[in-house]
Amino acid sequence: MYMRSIPNLLTFTNLSFGVLAMIEIFNQNYSASAVYVMIAAIIDRYDGRIARRLNVCSEFGRELDSLADLVSFGIAPALLVYFKFNFDDLGILRIVGIAALILYVVSGSYRLALFNIREFEGNFRGIPITVAGSILTIYSMIAPSANSSMIISVVTLLIFSLLMVSNIKIKKI
């Protein structure tokens, strides 16, 4: 009974770090937020593996993992980029920044839903949201908070939105 709960507890921990990342964004502690997203990524790497190893995979676990991933690698990284690079300073283009943020989250949720209903064939179709969110988070840690970074950030959100829903095949490692 307890062994069956381990993967879901890891998924809840991933989700918790995603929520902590958002709290730190609102506290303007962007470095801590980025660290929390990266911790969530490490934890997410193992919940499915442990479920398979313990032979306790379930539809519930799969759906729960997608919900946690949407928070930790969809919403949190998009908000991190939005607030760290102060999209409010884009003026009239602020609407474009908001649209890019929403498109990223919608694309990520669409990709997760598709993943859950498709039979896995050994390749991902489109880049996984965990990869997109992790790269956005790393970008937020290394890019300067300059005006030029705002435009690059909007473009980056748009590129990852498209990559998540693309037909690019990526081998699972």
pLDDT at 30 over 90: yes
pLDDT score of 169: 83
Nearest of 62, 65, 75 to residue 18 by alpha carbon: 75
pLDDT score of 111: 94
R_g of the chain, CA atoms, integer Å: 16
Residue 6: strand, helix, or coil: helix
pTM metric for this prediction? 0.91
Residue-averaged pLDDT of the chain: 90
> Rounded to whole angstroms, how far apart are CA atoms 40 and 35?
9
Annotate 58-107 with DSSP letters as a single string. -HHHHHHHHHHHIIIIIIHHHHHHHHHTTGGGGGGGHHHHHHHHHHHHHH
pLDDT at 63 over 90: yes
User: β-strands 123-125, 169-171: how paired?
Assistant: antiparallel
Nearest of 109, 42, 97, 37 to residue 73 by alpha carbon: 37
Map out the domains of the chain as residue ranges.
2-171
Of the pLDDT bands very low, low, confident and very high (cuts 50, 70, 90), residue 36 is very high
SS3 assignment for 115-168: HHHCCCCCEEECCCHHHHHHHHHHHHHHCCCCHHHHHHHHHHHHHHHHHHHCCC
Quick one: average pLDDT of 51-80?
93
Q: Assess if CATH 3.90.1170.50 describes domain 2-171.
A: no
pLDDT at 82 over 70: yes
Tell me the two tokens of residue 151. 């435009």
pLDDT digits (tens, 9 = 90+) for 128-170: 999 999 999 999 999 887 666 788 899 999 999 999 999 888 8
How buried is residue 36: exposed, middle or buried, by Cβ count under 10 Å (0-12/13-18/19+)?
A: buried
pLDDT at 66 over 60: yes
